Amino acid sequence: MDKKVILTGLRANNDLHIGNYFGALMPIVDMAHNRADDYDINLFVPDLHSFTTPIDHKQLYAQTLHNLKLFVAAGLPLDHPNIHLYRQSFVPAHSELTWILDCFSGFGQLQRMTQFKDKSKDLDNSDNPEAAISVGLFNYPVLMAADILLYDASYIPVGDDQTQHIEFARDIAQRMNSKFSEIFIVPKSVTEQHEFFGHDQGLRIKDLVDPLKKMSKSAASSKGVVFLGDDPKDAAEKIMSATTDSVGTINFDSANQPGITNLLTLLALLRQEPQENINAEWVGKSRYGDLKKTLATAMEQFLEGFQTRLASVNEGLLLSKLESDEKLINAVANAKLLTVQKAVGLRQK
């Protein structure tokens, strides 16, 4: 790998939903198409990150492969030599580097991470591992720093919820570089990341039942969430029962009509048309049912097409790509790990 590295991953803790598709999966696939000639693209499934909050472990292995297939069905090319696909846990250096970085990470700094605070809010501090805040959740940013620093990655496209973790990775790289001479390439600053990728416009598809909340994989009820694996007819039903409002006129106004605005947003995304065109067609009309029917049909057709592409993903090809990429990636990661081990005195210089 001799080019600058772009690194990106998507957690496989459940089937992905339509928000993940338009907010993360498609941007990654588009980025891979646009950048792969000039950059090395490390696209990995962070399976070790999957259970920092409780999951169904019976599903994890299959879910990880499924997640990769979703990328392929969404258009990720499997035959580009600069796109490297791998599973985090298949590269043991991630875990080893995490331990080393742990010992150079401040407890106080990790305690201030907003994602940790958010995600631990709903968990308790008891000894029950099913309900408690795990050390893994606390440690999440250190594992993420290892994911990045092992490959000297420069660019990491993340949403606003993860920018603090990028700052943390930069911090620890700088700290270790000054203590042990240069061992890591420091990832680009958040500002430079935004310049490179264009600042994430913060697309947030809302839950269909509670449009004040964003659609989430881990939502308590799946009634408001359209999963990519949903039966297309059921997905259409979910759209038809989406919560709207009593205003009586269609407006694109997320503050006052979040439900209707969410439907208009989804319609623009599914039709791949500018929002203005969709709004020009619908704003001012009064029949919410017509909008729902149109969107329900578009969603049903989209899912039918996507699921057909998913079913035809060549699993053999995917597995052989994973096998050869994981071999390459292990070599790169182990070389970096050895540099670090030498620096901290675990191996002879």
From the list 184, 162, 180, 158, the residue with the least C-alpha distance to 171 is 184
Distance in Å, CB of 6 to ligand ATP, minimum: 15
Q: How many CB atoms lie within 10 A of CB 188?
A: 18
CA angle 159, 162, 167 (to 5 degrees): 125
**Rounded distance between C-alpha atoms, residue 308 and residue 303, angstroms:** 8
Residues 91-110 binding ligand ATP (CB under 6 A) are: none
Site size toward ligand ATP (CB under 6 A) is 16
Residue 203 interacting with ligand ATP (CB under 6 A)? yes
**Rounded distance between C-alpha atoms, residue 84 and residue 243, angstroms:** 41
Q: Which stretch binds ligand ATP (CB under 6 A): 76-84, 145-153, 211-219, 266-274?
A: 211-219
Residue 11 interacting with ligand ATP (CB under 6 A)? yes
Q: Which is nearer to ligand ATP, 215 or 340 (CB)?
A: 215
Cα–chain-centroid distance for residue 347? 35
Q: Which stretch binds ligand ATP (CB under 6 A): 20-28, 77-85, 145-153, 188-196?
A: 20-28
Distance in Å, CB of 158 to ligand ATP, minimum: 7
Q: Which residue in 59, 120, 164, 216 binds ligand ATP (CB under 6 A)? A: 216
Cβ atoms of residues 292 and 245 within 8 Å: no
From the list 26, 12, 6, the residue with the least C-alpha distance to 205 is 26
Q: Which is nearer to ligand ATP, 217 or 271 (CB)?
A: 217
From the list 244, 291, 325, the residue with the least C-alpha distance to 76 is 325
Q: Which is nearer to ligand ATP, 45 or 172 (CB)?
A: 45
Distance in Å, CB of 162 to ligand ATP, minimum: 8
Q: Where are the alpha helices (DSSP H) in 181-208?
A: 190-197
Residue 19 interacting with ligand ATP (CB under 6 A)? yes
Q: Which is nearer to ligand ATP, 24 or 250 (CB)?
A: 24
Q: Which residue in 4, 33, 175, 214 binds ligand ATP (CB under 6 A)? A: 214
Listed in order, strand segments (DSSP E) in the chain are: 5-9, 40-45, 83-87, 153-155
Q: Which is nearer to ligand ATP, 52 or 105 (CB)?
A: 52
Q: Which residue in 4, 175, 217, 223 binds ligand ATP (CB under 6 A)? A: 217
Q: Which stretch binds ligand ATP (CB under 6 A): 63-71, 203-211, 247-255, 329-337?
A: 203-211
Residue 256 interacting with ligand ATP (CB under 6 A)? no
Q: Which residue in 159, 198, 274, 305 binds ligand ATP (CB under 6 A)? A: 159
Q: What is the CA radius of gyration of the chain?
A: 22
Residues recognised as catalytic: 119, 214, 217
* Greatest Cα pair distance in the chain: 75
Q: Which is nearer to ligand ATP, 203 or 318 (CB)?
A: 203
Cβ atoms of residues 132 and 126 within 8 Å: yes
* The dihedral sign for the CA sequence 236, 225, 315, 31: positive
Distance in Å, CB of 205 to ligand ATP, minimum: 4
> Which amino acid, residue 229?
G
Q: Which is nearer to ligand ATP, 218 or 286 (CB)?
A: 218
Task: Judge residue 201's burial from the number of C-beta atoms within 10 Å of its C-beta, 0-12 exposed, 13-18 middle, 19 or more buried.
Answer: exposed
**Rounded distance between C-alpha atoms, residue 288 and residue 259, angstroms:** 11
Residue 23 interacting with ligand ATP (CB under 6 A)? yes
Name the closest residue to ligand ATP (Cβ): 23
> Which amino acid, residue 335?
A
Q: Which residues bind ligand ATP (CB under 6 A)?
A: 10-11, 13, 19-20, 23-24, 159, 203-205, 214-218
